[in-house]
Amino acid sequence: MTSAEIESLGVRVEEYRHRRTGAQHLHIAADNPENVFLVALRTVPHDSTGVAHILEHTALCGSDKYPVRDPFFMMIRRSLNTFMNAFTSSDWTAYPFASQNRKDFANLLDVYLDAVFFAKLDPLDFAQEGHRLEFAEAGNADSDLVFKGVVFNEMKGAMSSVTSQLWQKLSKYLFPTTTYHYNSGGEPADIPDLSYEQLVDFYRTHYHPTNAIFMTFGDIPAAEHQAVFEEKALHKFDQLDDLISVGREKLYVAPVRVEENYPLPADEGQEEKTHIVLGWLLGDVTDLEQVLTAHLLSGVLLDNSASPLMHLLETTELGQSPSPLCGLDDSQRELVFVCGIEGSERSRADDFEQQVLKVLADVAENGVPYEQVAAALHQLELQQREIGGDGYPYGLQLILTALSGATHRGDAIGLLNIDATLEKLREQIKDPKFIADAARSLLVENQHRVRLVLSPDPHMAARAEQAEKNRLAEIKAGLGEGEKQQIIQTAKALAERQQRKDDESILPKVGVEDIPAELPRVDGETVEVNGNKVSRYAAGTNGLVYQQLVASLPDFSDQERLLLPYYCQTLSEVGLGDKDYLQVQQWQAAVAGSLHSFTSQRTELEDLHSQKGHFILSGKALAANQAGLTELMQATMEQVRFDELPRIKELLLQTLARREQSVVGNGHALAMAAASAGFNRAAADGHQFGGLQGLRQLKALIKSLDSDAGLENIAGTFNAIHQKILGAERQFLVIGEEDKLADFTSALAPLTRADGIHYGAEKEDFTPRPINDMWIANSQVNFCAKAYPTVPMSHPDAAALAVLGGFLRNGYLHRTIREQGGAYGGGASHDATIGAFRFYSYRDPRMAETLQDFDGSIEWLLNESHDDLQVEEAILGVVGGMDKPGSPAGEAKKAFHSNLYGRTHEVRQAFRRRVTEVTVDDLQRVARTYLQPEKANTAVITGNQGRDAGLALDLHEEKL
């Protein structure tokens, strides 16, 4: 056993090796009740059939001890977990979970260990999760054949993302000989090539303790974990002779230049839609010093708009904005550095490459100012120190940081314990040649460089669709009568298996009696500075301070409301006083971890048609830099200048690119927002500001930027918005370690103002309208949503509506939409902030049938009998979501902003109590009351292939 205390993270890391099998255990001991477990297997595919990904799904479909059809999803609803999932990366597959409840943790550990090491791998589960052939008309061998399968449709959706295609195509050339050459998730065209026998063979060779890495975090001692590992799994195995690993890539002796295409419908226009990226391999991910040097170099080149390479990418006239791939990727055997642009043309590739190489050559020759290098190192230290946990559990973030080192049998502890290497870097950067030499050796003289030009092809999607049809037709033509009947029988057997009611009682569970009586409480205190209210929270922030200026949101004109989101995105990205935006970016990097602004609007607790909002300027910094952060925030509010018109245009183009890229990854949320938009002003704002309507309005806005007059109009509106916000009443939030809070509070004095105007809640005039829309996007799959108007959180029915979402998902929607329909996901939820109950599907091959399934779930609820256990499972899901912890700073922010809108701890505690008291009768009552067919609004996101299906449903076509 080796161990290391890591003061900067407040943890002790211990590494163990199992004598009999060679299995590795990395334990991160922490005074934290949210215990995390992960077991990872090195998985190294040699094709793009998605074998590792499909195995990840199939392994969770039943095991020796738990031979039920769906233990993973069953345990989600029999648990108080704070996280449950499984991941397939390019060279590992991981099964993580987290829970704050010891009984729940033990239950999940038992199920996970059995699923991973003793999976059943039923052929019907492979057919459901991976791929299968079915006749389009069930039981009719004369109808067309179709491919079905959850992963097949998931990857059709994933590969609809241009960013995903860009990465996969770049990897194909950056890694000509190793596993990263292939798409570990699976290429839709290759997935049907995988046989069940190949899946089983892959499991036997890869899912073995010798090839496993056990990782844990929290306050359960390592010895307790190891006793369970031994009892439940390890004692049944011996060590394998062959070790699975990824070798080093065979390096090029000269740069490679390649061209590829991606599908883009002709009606979206093909001009300036090309991506040009350059990628390098930089070295071994297990070499900590090399990794941090590469991160530092990447930061120096790309951290912000003043960084030399990012400045080029943002300002070059050869493209519209930097590529989404820009930066350093350290998740594979070798480090990858990428830079590029989007919104370009293939004819510009040579010029762009020369521009990049010229910038790199200049850095290699002349270096960069010490202040910029020190700022980049400052950002590295902030990333190391910050305690996360607002997305993934904090412990899981640390585990995933160490996993890449463990996967390649390197120093996993070292990847967490980087203080000594950071200190060494602090000395090294004093040498002006250090960064210059790094740029020269890692990039300028590095011949393993790939230039990829990815251009749109308006006919590519049609060709791919036709190729799939031709393949299916060829398969059908070669089928004998017996083979046709076998396909029909498999479909029938799978349908019967999906309808079968398994004995869930063999699975462990927690119940309502295991729910803590109290919602976790986070309390702060309120003081005054110069007549302004300051809410301050003591939290373990590991030497960081978080602070926010919060202003009540003024009344805006229609034009100002339209531009408000873009004002917020621009505020911290332009010049201040006598400094231009490049100087401001350097200032920010030197003193702050981040600085950004946003608006928050919520309905009144008891009135969905009355809402109030706030403008927030939010920053974080090392505690030693708080005075600098405050000075920066003051300058941002008092000296901002919107006269850098080219910069404003550049920022809007970048925003458009990001939002367009997000559609296929966030389609279910966008569809739900679109379906809800007709209920009230708050719901309509969600669709306009962050939804599809907002994206369409941004596209129209961009067209006005070609003239100076258009830009000047936008800049003038930004100024008008800013002046109103400057005059609004202010209050403040500050979060830090308790012994420093008083000093942090006093330091906020320069930001205060005594004469701000108070803007309270506003009752909006709004006329509800029906919605029955179909949005056409560049997607191979569908995202379906149906929404019903309901009630706010304070209403007695809100708790039952919250439980109803999980009840319908668990009992009906998961089976019909995911298992039978082949979508990657589907469900229902209640959003009390806008008063909407919403059904959704995610990466869905169907449309009409899914909308029917939404209705079918209501009929199932009302017309069939249900037991209390089903309600209890849905209750656990709601309570688990409410109790899920975030980072210390994130918890304080959540408490403050909840209180800001009247969602106090007492209000949320009362709602949580009502949730635990919901019954079947309550669910049926609220369904009859609110989920009436005539009240439903519908929105679907689809591609051109789904247009006819949408029109057949009388959906109104909307263009992005």
Confidence of residue 497 (pLDDT cuts 50, 70, 90): confident
pTM: 0.91
Contact 379, 303 (CB under 8 A): yes
Confidence of residue 23 (pLDDT cuts 50, 70, 90): very high
Distances 57 to 46, 251, 639, 861 between C-alpha atoms, Å = 19, 34, 54, 28
Q: Does domain 2-243+479-506 have CATH number 1.10.357.10?
A: no
User: CA 359, CA 545: separation in Å to the nearest integer?
Assistant: 35
Residues for the chain: how many in total?
960
| pLDDT single digits (tens) 643-694 | 999 999 999 999 998 898 889 889 999 999 999 999 999 999 999 989 999 9
Domain boundaries, the chain: 2-243+479-506, 256-457, 772-959
Per-residue pLDDT at 813 exceeds 80: yes
Dist CA 951 CA 774 (whole Å): 8
Q: Is the pLDDT of residue 8 over 90?
A: no
Which DSSP state fits 809?
I
Return the pLDDT at 538: 94
On the question of pLDDT at 160 being above 90, the answer is no
- Measure CA 594 to chain center: 19
> Is the pLDDT assigned to residue 390 strictly greater than 80?
no
**Within 10 Å of residue 959's Cβ, how many Cβ atoms?**
10
Q: Quick one: pLDDT at residue 69?
A: 86
Percent of residues, the chain, with pLDDT higher than 90: 82
Compute the distance between CA of residue 563 and CA of residue 700 in angstroms, rounded to an integer. Answer: 12
* Cα Rg of the chain (Å, integer): 28
What mean pLDDT, rounded, does the chain reach? 94
Could you tell me if 95 and 131 are in contact, meaning their C-beta atoms sit under 8 angstroms apart?
no
pLDDT one-digit tens code per residue, 607-635: 999 999 999 999 999 999 999 999 999 99
pLDDT at residue 887 is higher than 90: no
Same topology, domains 2-243+479-506 and 772-959? Answer is yes
* pLDDT band per the 50, 70, 90 thresholds, residue 66: very high
pLDDT over 80 (residue 392): yes
Angle separating helix axes 920-930 and 868-883, nearest 10 degrees: 80
Mean pLDDT of 130-157: 91
Q: Buried b / exposed e across 623-649, counting CB within 10 Å, b at 16+?
A: bebbebbbbbbbbbbeebbbebeebbb
| Residue 268 in this model has a pLDDT that exceeds 90 | no
> Each residue of 834-858: pLDDT tens digit?
999 999 999 999 999 999 999 999 9
How far is the CA of 730 from the CAs of 501, 534, 536, 562, in angstroms?
57, 9, 15, 23
What string of DSSP letters covers 546-604? EEEEEEE-----HHHHHHHHHHHHHHTTS-BTTB-HHHHHHHHHHH-SEEEEEEEEEEE
Regarding the domain delimited by 256-457, which CATH topology (the fold level of the hierarchy) does it fall under? Cytochrome Bc1 Complex; Chain A, domain 1 (3.30.830)
Note the pLDDT tens digit of each residue in 553-568. Answer: 999 999 999 999 999 9
Q: Please name the residue ranges forming H helices in 84-195.
A: 102-117, 123-129, 150-158, 162-174
Query: What digits encode the pLDDT tens for the residues 407-433?
Result: 999 888 888 888 888 899 999 999 999
What pLDDT does residue 269 have? 83
pLDDT value at 707 more than 80: no
176-217 pLDDT, tens per residue? 999 999 999 999 999 999 999 999 999 999 999 999 999 999
- Stretch 95-119: mean pLDDT: 96
3-state SS of 871-883 is: HHHHHHHHHHHHH
| Neighbour tally for 254: CB within 10 Å | 8
Q: Kindly report, residue by residue over 439-458, the tens digit of the pLDDT.
A: 999 999 999 999 999 999 99
Name the β-bridge partners of 827: 840
Closest CA to 937 of 772, 766, 776: 772
Torsion sign over Cα 822, 824, 829, 831: negative
Task: For the chain, give the percent of residues with pLDDT over 70.
Answer: 100
The tokens for 601 are: 């609007």
pLDDT over 90 at 230, yes or no? yes
pLDDT recorded at residue 382: 87
Q: What is the largest CA-CA distance in the chain?
A: 86
What confidence category does residue 829 fall into, taking pLDDT thresholds of 50, 70 and 90? very high
The CATH label, of 3.30.830.10, 3.40.50.150, 3.40.50.1100, 3.30.450.90, for the domain at 772-959 is: 3.30.830.10
Q: How far apart are CA 693 and CA 389, in angstroms?
A: 32
Q: 17: which DSSP letter? A: E
Residue 954: the pLDDT is 96
Q: Which residue has the higher pLDDT, 878 or 268?
A: 878
Q: Would you state the pLDDT for residue 139?
A: 87
Distance of alpha carbon 957 from alpha carbon 674, whole angstroms = 13
